[in-house]
Amino acid sequence: MSDITPSQTVGPFFAYGLAPHSRCDWQPSKIYDWKETVGANLITPDATGTKVRIEGCITDGDGKPINDAMIEIWQADAQGRYSHARGEKPRPNAKFTGFGRSATDKQGVFSFDTIKPGIVPGPGGKPQAPHIVVCVFSRGMLRQIYTRLYFSDEAANGADPILQMVPEDRRGTLIAHKQPGSGAAVYRFDIRVQGENETVFFDI
Amino acid sequence: MSLVYPKESLNVFPKHLSPDYKSTVKRSPSKPLIIVPHTLSELTGPAFGHDAIQEGDNDLTKQHKGEPLGERIIVHGYVYDEDKRPVPETLVEIWQANACGRYVHNVDQHPAPLDPNFTGAGRTITDKNGYYKFITVKPGAYPWGNHHNAWRPNHIHFSVFGQAFVTRLVTQMYFPGDPLFPFDPIFNSVTDEKARLRMVSKFDLDNTIPDWALCFRFDIVLRGREQTPVNTEKH
């Protein structure tokens, strides 16, 4: 049996390699000269479901924006299926990968355009409310931290088996709030890494 | 076959709060992480097809008109799981400073020259045996502001996916025998010496190409092992 390779920080200078076209307000030219493999827009032409935008700011223990973070998300499609298995039978959303990556800008803001995920199976056959797994990397983080995003307008949140494992007074940190206004739905999801109203992070 | 991802395997990772690396002080969770089971959401992860990469993405010396300055090197190895099974068709991304220790990133203020023939970003997908290979130049050491006279050892940043979202790994590959090792709080945030040395590549004379490039071997082991059958017999 082999022991795993340890994690190290992503450092401050990943953007030109990992997220060259994402919220690059550090750059006069707005983008770095390198092709993007994974971006912050997950919506594919064949994706069915409700289009949503997710926006948030990530802050440190002093409440200061973290302007050199990378946020990755992983989610099911609108029918609650993950695009994981290779060679599975074609799905209606076959091009929808469910994976996205956003760097933060100078204000510590990240954003994604995606499809609201469906209900997916959970432990013991209990359904999980629509949610997105969120993974955070940054300078000063020697390993990634994982959290989850749930949607404020989902009745299924009340019975979600993972939310129920979180102390009630902290569950609110996992809820993305639908913003008022017309047009495509925007959900606000701030991440507070440390301190007051600290976001719940998971040991997985 | 389904794999399991025991949390004990993560014991070799650095602690979130490692105060010698000062930026961790305000960027580490202060409350205990909440332990939850792995659900389908954690046990699945993104798969990348070969359309995610383009020809030549793994050769950082050929992305511009001319060749970059510095020592040309080959960096190659295998991505495995904890049972030493290869992890095939997984995305491996790298980024690094140039031979002078300067990143292309706009925020890097180190007064060393940029190289117009070097961006320092590469990507590839492992083959069916978990094998990957990059051609690049050896990155330089560079100063940083963590403490007086702080210098990072030469390193290449690696990002690897694996077969589930919980196998995601971002790490750094170091070079053998670097005199800066004892002084680097990021390297030493991994407190177990054997684990620390797993981040150090090995000089690979067999795959060094005469009159052309030195070779370094860097194998990466991700989480994941076969479930041990539960022994139901009573003793």
Q: Which of B72, B102, B152, B223 is catalytic?
A: B152
pLDDT of residue A124: 86
Answer yes or no: is pLDDT of B84 > 70.
yes
Answer yes or no: is pLDDT of B232 > 60.
no
Domain edges within chain A: 15-192
pLDDT of residue A89: 58
Answer yes or no: is pLDDT of B24 > 90.
yes
Strand-pairing partners, residue B125, are B91
pLDDT in tens, A134-144: 999 999 999 99
CB contact set of B130 (below 8 Å; sequence gap of 6+): B78, B79, B80, B85, B86, B87, B88, B90
Answer yes or no: is pLDDT of A85 > 90.
no
Q: CA-to-CA distance for B164 and B223, rounded, in angstroms?
A: 9
pLDDT of residue B233: 53
Q: Give me the total of CB pairs closer than 8 Å, taking one residue from chain A and one from chain B.
A: 241
Answer yes or no: is pLDDT of B131 > 80.
yes
Nearest CB partner across the interface for A18, out of B33, B46, B95 = B95
Q: CA-to-CA distance for B93 and B134, rounded, in angstroms?
A: 10
Q: Mean pLDDT across the stretch A76-103?
A: 83
pLDDT band at B89 (very low <50, low <70, confident <90, very high): very high
pLDDT of residue B230: 61
B76 given a catalytic annotation: no
Percentage, residues of chain B above pLDDT 70: 97
Partners of B54 on chain A (C-beta within 8 Å) are: 35
Answer yes or no: is pLDDT of A86 > 90.
no
Partners of B195 on chain A (C-beta within 8 Å) are: 3, 6
Closest residue in B to A99 (Cα–Cα): B46
What separation in angstroms does the CA of A116 have from each of A42, A61, A75, A79, B134? 11, 30, 9, 9, 38
Answer yes or no: is pLDDT of B235 > 60.
no
- Average pLDDT over chain B, rounded to whole? 95
Q: Mean pLDDT across the stretch A144-173?
A: 97
Nearest to B95 by CA among A37, A15, A29: A15
Domain edges within chain B: 3-29+46-226
Strand-pairing partners, residue B79, are B220
CB contact set of A146 (below 8 Å; sequence gap of 6+): A133, A134, A135, A136, A201, A202, A204
Asked if A61 has any chain B CB less than 8 Å from its own CB, the reply is yes
pLDDT band at A90 (very low <50, low <70, confident <90, very high): low
Flag whether the pTM goes above 0.90. yes
Answer yes or no: is pLDDT of A34 > 90.
no
Instruction: Kindly indicate whether the domain formed by A15-192 is annotated with CATH number 2.60.130.10.
Output: yes
What's B3-29+46-226's CATH class?
Answer: mainly beta
pLDDT of residue B231: 55
Task: Output B74 or B107, whichever has higher pLDDT.
Answer: B74
Q: Which of B110, B157, B196, B225 is catalytic?
A: B157
B142 given a catalytic annotation: yes
Residue B112 phi/psi, 5-degree rounding, is -120, 150
Q: Which of B103, B123, B174, B223 is catalytic?
A: B103
Give the dihedral sign, CA B200/B113/A37/A188: positive
ipTM, 2 decimals? 0.95
Q: CA-to-CA distance for B124 and B117, rounded, in angstroms?
A: 20
Assign B15 to helix, strand or coil.
coil
pLDDT in tens, A100-152: 999 999 999 999 999 999 999 998 889 999 999 999 999 999 999 999 999 99
Report the greatest alpha carbon distance in chain B. Answer: 71
pLDDT of residue B199: 98
Q: CA-to-CA distance for A150 and A117, rounded, in angstroms?
A: 10
Q: What's the distance, CA B115 to chain centroid?
A: 23
Answer yes or no: is pLDDT of A92 > 80.
no
CA angle, residues A202, A162, A91, in degrees to nearest 5: 100
CB contact set of B146 (below 8 Å; sequence gap of 6+): B21, B22, B23, B185
Q: Tell me the two tokens of residue A43.
A: 């919506």
Q: CA-to-CA distance for A105 and A70, rounded, in angstroms?
A: 10
Q: CA-to-CA distance for B148 and A169, rounded, in angstroms?
A: 43
